[in-house]
Copies of this chain bind each other. A is one copy, B any other.
Amino acid sequence: MSANSRLTIAAHALTWIGLYQRRGHEVATSEQIATSVNTNPVVIRRLLAQLSKAGLADSRRGAGAGWMLARDLSAITLLDVYEAVEPGPVFALHRATPDPECVVGRGIGPALTAVYDGVEAALRRELAGATLEDVLRDILKAA
């Protein structure tokens, strides 16, 4: 699978902001977050821009600028983050449409779509069951 790390990085960034704010700070800069994630600040800004569109984060510009949560960590599930940063489905159908002269070629798409829809639903249920608050609790417990 061509698995990417966007969900991981986005969850990391939001959790980091949440903890930082709980420690009394107003906003977090993309540079600070990038240091914890160990990547480039632009990567963080790109992801946070998507999370901002989804209503999970907000930014402040000008001097003393940075990022803050739009909702509390307990009100953000991993499903919210997933939907904000992952556009497509988990499984793809055929790249080129199969032979329409063939029974299997005609019917396999709809048949698999039914199963794939169930898979996506199950995946979403799992992700919806974990909030970033849960994730942060896990982190602090292990520390």
How many identical subunits does the complex contain? 2
B-contacting 9-mer, from A44-52, A55-63, A132-140: A132-140
Decide: A104 and B1 in contact? CB cutoff 8 A: no
* Alpha-carbon separation in the docked complex, A92 to B6 (Å): 8
Binding site for B on A (CB under 8 A): 1-5, 7-9, 11-12, 15-16, 19, 35-39, 78, 86-99, 102-108, 110-112, 114-115, 118-119, 122-123, 125-127, 129-130, 135-136, 138-140, 142-143
Decide: B8 and A93 in contact? CB cutoff 8 A: yes
Contact of A108 among B107, B111, B135 (CB under 8 A): B135
Considering residues A86, A89, A139, which has the most beta carbons from chain B within 10 angstroms of its beta carbon? A139
Decide: A126 and B115 in contact? CB cutoff 8 A: yes
Looking across the interface, which residue of chain B has its beta carbon closest to that of A100? B38
A5: chain B residues within 8 A (beta carbon)? 91-95
Looking across the interface, which residue of chain B has its beta carbon closest to that of A8? B93
Contact of A135 among B8, B78, B112 (CB under 8 A): B112
Contact of A1 among B86, B108, B122, B126 (CB under 8 A): B86
* Alpha-carbon separation in the docked complex, A90 to B11 (Å): 16
